[in-house]
Structure 1
Amino acid sequence: MNTEPLLQVTNLRAYLASQRGVVKAVDDVSFTLGHGEAMGLVGESGSGKSVMSRAIMGLLPRRADRTGSVRFRGRELIGLSRKEMSEIWGPQISMVFQDPSRSLNPVVTVERQLTEGMRKHLGLGRSQARTRAAELLAEVGVSDPERRLRNYPHEMSGGMCQRVMIAVALACEPGLLIADEPTTALDVTIQRQILDLLRRVQRERNMSMILISHNLPLVAGRTDRVSVMYAGRLAETGSTRQVFDAPRHRYTHALLAATPTIAHRRHSLFQLIPGTLPNPVQPPSGCRFAARCGHASGPCHEPGPAMTMIAEGHHVACANPVAVPPAATATATAGTPGGDAGGR
């Protein structure tokens, strides 16, 4: 059994040049991802989640500065040329983007978009690739796959296009799938179908996955671990059960409290997080959530809390973490670490 992490990110920084200055979109982020593990990456819009996924993939703009270390299967990815990365995109790491209407080529058939990668990376012939493409469409729940191969993206619904995007991402049997907000602009029913599909495929193929979303309930029951990101940094990481049952960082706690639930009283106000994200060009020193936190104290501002392990597999960067409720402690002791959390 391979004990080395599939993906190891260490002190990753991704700085983007802009008219206002250098945007510190990802600032000193470290985490590992095991073989066959599903990790959720959550946080408000603008936290740096999508930029981090592109930094891992090496898909940042030309004017971006990427430093730190990204090791995949023991190989350092930072510093590789675009030609070298093109051999990794598809057969080793694939990505499902937010908007399939902009990711799929509108003037190319589904068949060609599915088979190009297989013919290049797997060496399949035209007939073999077409057969495999039809099988992939069936696997991701596309009805009448033979007919759909002849379609263009505009001839299909948004949910169907997203299924095609997933099939494209799976075509070359990657070891890691990054799904960046894969249910954007889809209705609630289709959202659930797409996320359940991703989880099922990930388990059946024993593939690792990073599921990026600002919607915590969508991540809750479909990942093994969760990392909470705020203003370019990780605030909390742990098993899905640990983080959702007993959030310790003040930001995670506030984020979950602001999430609508079925038990919310009709016409009552939602519990909002005051303030806004800090300026990404000039972020504050110390904890970046301190200005919005009602429990901030001196150590939060200077030098700021470091990521600290507070339980097995559970790390938090908070000087005044939330106390663990007794019920959550009992649940964590009885539960299986890293297992699925129930949907919220």
Structure 2
Amino acid sequence: MSHGKLLEVENLHAYIGSPRGVVKAVDGVSFDLAEGEALGVVGESGSGKSVMARAVMGLMPARSDRTGSVAFKGRDLLGLNKKQLAEIWGKQIAMVFQDPGRSLNPVVRVERQLSETMRAHLGVSKSEAHSRSLTLLQEVGVPDPERRLRAYPHELSGGMRQRVMIAVALACEPDLLIADEPTTALDVTIQRQVLDLLRRIQIERHMSVMLISHDLHVVAGQTERVAVMYAGRLAEVGVSRQVFDTPRHQYTSALLAATPTIEHTRHAPLNVISGSLPSPTDPPPGCRFAARCVAATAECHSAQPPVTGVGEPGTDHSVACFNPVTHVKEGELVGR
């Protein structure tokens, strides 16, 4: 494994059987994640972000198939059985799901949900698990943690449930935390608190984080690198600031243009990306974004664009586009 690389994903495919046919949810995705790094994964709903995360974890439905390579600390997770994966889940890789109301057991008190993982993976005593549970709740900003430990999930607010879910994920001090839409259904103030919390803990623990979101503003400022996903494939990968300031894929540029900002004129129409995602059971042969792209050529519709490096040497900025956006001067974007 390369020095400093915690996770290396190569040509990952995740196909799921359905009544409509085989859903090609993830179709040839490659990326890596360094130790202590935060990677954002963004894209429209239905682009395959959550399935990709579950494919990395090994949390796929029965009628599914994964191929490729998912190397975690040099060990390919795709070759492990459920028992072997269970030894990794929680202890080395943990996941925060987008709906804590469904992820937390509604009939089990918070303390048990926190302590069970620690006792199973770390072998700590009941009293030590209780002490660690209190510390975890304090760390994630839950007020009156002693009382919250005795509570059931339904007795907590959405923001508190999400903090408990983060505490559960952190209980065994994993090396990698995958946060799948962790701020869904939370108001803006609580969203910011949760995101700042994840970022602080990631830095303090030197923990790797994969932050998945359909909202570009959620990822901006919270990650070192960002991967833009569209229709099961990666469109663009690079340093977050570079991707947001100088997007090179036509989809990334359109996605940013369609994101409302504080400078948006009141009552003015919002920019939209015309069309919709292609069928995951019958994707087009060329670029998946071609049918919605203003710069598409005949080649885009017939051939899959290769991943190529863009920008200055050493910037680690790559894009899968035949006609990437060219930044001719500040504030002006044109197709090449």
Shorter-chain TM-score bucket reads over 0.9
Matched residues, percent identical? 67
- How far is the alpha carbon of 1:45 from its aligned partner? 0.2
**1:231-288 deviation digits (Å, cap 9, x = unpaired):** 0000000000110000000000000000000000001000100000001000001110
Matched, 1:204 2:207: no
Are residues 115 and 325 of structure 1, via their aligned partners in 2, closer, same or farther at CA, if it must alter by over 3 Å? farther
- How far is the alpha carbon of 1:102 from its aligned partner? 0.3
Runs of 4 or more above 4 Å deviation: none
**Equivalent in the alignment of 1:289:** 289
- How far is the alpha carbon of 1:299 from its aligned partner? 2.3
**TM-score of the superposed pair, with normalisation by structure 1:** 0.94
Q: How many residues align?
A: 328
Alignment-mate amino acid for residue 75 of structure 1: R
**Equivalent in the alignment of 1:38:** 38
* 1:235-246 matches, cutoff 5 A: 235-246=235-246
Matched, 1:59 2:63: no
SS at structure 2 position matched to 1:304: coil
- How far is the alpha carbon of 1:303 from its aligned partner? 1.8
- How far is the alpha carbon of 1:147 from its aligned partner? 1.0
Alignment-mate amino acid for residue 204 of structure 1: E
Q: Distance in 2 between matches of 1:281 and 1:298?
A: 23
**Equivalent in the alignment of 1:73:** 73
Matched, 1:155 2:155: yes
Q: Which of 321, 324, 344 is equivalent to 2:324?
A: 321
What RMSD in Å do the two structures reach over aligned CA positions?
1.1
**Equivalent in the alignment of 1:169:** 169
Q: Distance in 1 between matches of 2:25 and 2:279?
A: 10
**Equivalent in the alignment of 2:298:** 298
Which region of structure 1 is more displaced relative to structure 2, 294-303 or 77-86?
294-303
Q: Distance in 1 between matches of 2:310 and 2:172?
A: 39
**Equivalent in the alignment of 1:134:** 134
- How far is the alpha carbon of 1:218 from its aligned partner? 1.0
* 1:13-24 matches, cutoff 5 A: 13-24=13-24
Q: Distance in 2 between matches of 1:176 and 1:146?
A: 28
**Equivalent in the alignment of 1:232:** 232
Equivalent residues of 1:236, 1:315 under 8 A apart: yes
Runs of 5+ unmatched residues, structure 1: 330-344
Equivalent residues of 1:37, 1:224 under 8 A apart: yes
Alignment-mate amino acid for residue 5 of structure 1: K
Q: Distance in 2 between matches of 1:324 and 1:173?
A: 42
Alignment-mate amino acid for residue 81 of structure 1: N
Equivalent residues of 2:15, 2:66 under 8 A apart: yes
Alignment-mate amino acid for residue 316 of structure 1: V
**1:109-161 deviation digits (Å, cap 9, x = unpaired):** 10000000111111100000100000000000000111111011011000000
Equivalent residues of 2:227, 2:234 under 8 A apart: yes
Q: Distance in 2 between matches of 1:41 and 1:70?
A: 16
**Equivalent in the alignment of 1:339:** none
Alignment-mate amino acid for residue 14 of structure 1: A
Equivalent residues of 1:180, 1:212 under 8 A apart: yes
Equivalent residues of 2:291, 2:301 under 8 A apart: no
**Equivalent in the alignment of 2:213:** 213
SS at structure 1 position matched to 2:108: coil
Q: Distance in 2 between matches of 1:76 and 1:328?
A: 43
Equivalent residues of 2:35, 2:206 under 8 A apart: yes
Alignment-mate amino acid for residue 16 of structure 2: L
SS at structure 1 position matched to 2:56: helix
Q: Distance in 1 between matches of 2:117 and 2:182?
A: 21
- How far is the alpha carbon of 1:4 from its aligned partner? 3.8
**Equivalent in the alignment of 1:97:** 97
Equivalent residues of 1:245, 1:328 under 8 A apart: no
Equivalent residues of 1:90, 1:174 under 8 A apart: yes
SS at structure 1 position matched to 2:218: helix
Alignment-mate amino acid for residue 54 of structure 1: R
Alignment-mate amino acid for residue 283 of structure 2: P
Q: Distance in 2 between matches of 1:304 and 1:202?
A: 36
- How far is the alpha carbon of 1:328 from its aligned partner? 7.8
Equivalent residues of 2:140, 2:167 under 8 A apart: yes
- How far is the alpha carbon of 1:325 from its aligned partner? 4.2
SS at structure 2 position matched to 1:324: strand
**Equivalent in the alignment of 2:259:** 259
